[in-house]
Amino acid sequence: MDYQFLKVSDDGNGVVTLTISSPATLNALNSTILGELERFVDALDPDTTRVLVITGEGKAFVAGADISEMAHLNEPEGFAFGQAGARVFKKIEDLPFPVIAAVNGFALGGGCELAMACDIRIASAKARFGQPEVGLGIIPGFSGTYRLPKLVGQGIAKELIYTGKMIDADEALRIGLVNRVVAPDELTGAVGELVASILKNAPIAVGFAKACINENYDLDVDESVALENRYFAKCFATDDQKEGMDAFLHKRPAAFKNE
């Protein structure tokens, strides 16, 4: 599939890397890029994809939504634009395999929201994060007011959103917005090591774990425990469970087949 603003690579072993490529605009999200993102996500094969890595080209991960496009929107058009971004980010969040954000630079506004839709965020020391929308007379529109409090707590989220301030990678790590900060030239290697540590495990179990965590987002304790019990039980219907435990008991490496 051809894209104007996306670069896609597949290593042939289930690892797909998506690079948002509009460096002249710091990869700002416009309607075209959002449409391409949605087509890309819809086309991913869950039977062959084990991990998706998302990054940006140049100095930015994604520096925000395209203000030159948003500046002329009326209320219904703003609603549609927000819906489009929220829809594709939810699709990314709901993919049945891990999604890793390799945050190489600016992740502001829609870029921060895209990173938060991923499962894990590894940041370059050059990365910068923020939700600066209130300075433009708007609020986060791609589910930032939902995901940011979930990650960092309401108090910190409100401070970041109300002030619109930008924070560096170390502060993002301190508040729990990112998982790890590495030197810029170590980002690719660090993400590769993380991917390798995921790939050695049973794909179905990893997928079930993700589904269970995501679906637990807004459940009470009893509902959450019941949901985990159901996914835990489903693992015992897989060949990978039998292989993993047999390998453990016989002190040999497991050979998972995603079955």
As a whole number of angstroms, the distance between CA 178 and CA 101 comes to 9
The DSSP 8-state label assigned to residue 67 in this structure reads H
Least confident of 19-23, 39-43, 171-175, 250-254: 250-254
Mind spelling out the 3-state secondary structure of 27-38?
Answer: CCECHHHHHHHH
Torsion of CA 183, 122, 244, 240, to 10 degrees: -140
Residue 176 makes CB contacts below 8 A (sequence gap 6+) with: 151, 152, 153
Told to judge if 57 belongs to the known catalytic residues of this protein, a careful annotator would answer no
Average pLDDT over every residue of 117-139: 96
Catalytic option among 133, 159, 171, 223: 133
Residue 6 neighbours by CB distance under 10 Å: 18
Domains with residue ranges and CATH for the chain: 6-199 (3.90.226.10), 203-249 (1.10.12.10)
Cβ(15)–Cβ(195) under 8 Å? yes
Q: Rg of the Cα trace of the chain?
A: 19
32-53 confidence digits (pLDDT tens): 999 999 999 999 999 999 999 9
Cβ(106)–Cβ(115) under 8 Å? no
- pLDDT of the residue at 221: 75
169-220 confidence digits (pLDDT tens): 999 999 999 999 999 999 999 999 999 999 999 999 999 999 999 998 887 7
pTM value is: 0.90
Torsion sign across C-alpha atoms 223, 211, 102, 186: positive
Model confidence band, residue 234 (pLDDT cutoffs 50, 70, 90)? confident
- List strands edge to edge, sheet with 180-182: 6-10, 15-20, 51-56, 99-103, 120-124, 180-182
Catalytic option among 113, 159, 186, 193: 113
Q: What are phi and psi of 157, to 5 degrees?
A: -60, -45
Told to judge if 243 belongs to the known catalytic residues of this protein, a careful annotator would answer no
As a whole number of angstroms, the distance between CA 228 and CA 210 comes to 11
Cα separations in angstroms, 201 against 50, 52, 194, 206, 241:
10, 16, 12, 7, 10
Model confidence band, residue 123 (pLDDT cutoffs 50, 70, 90)? very high
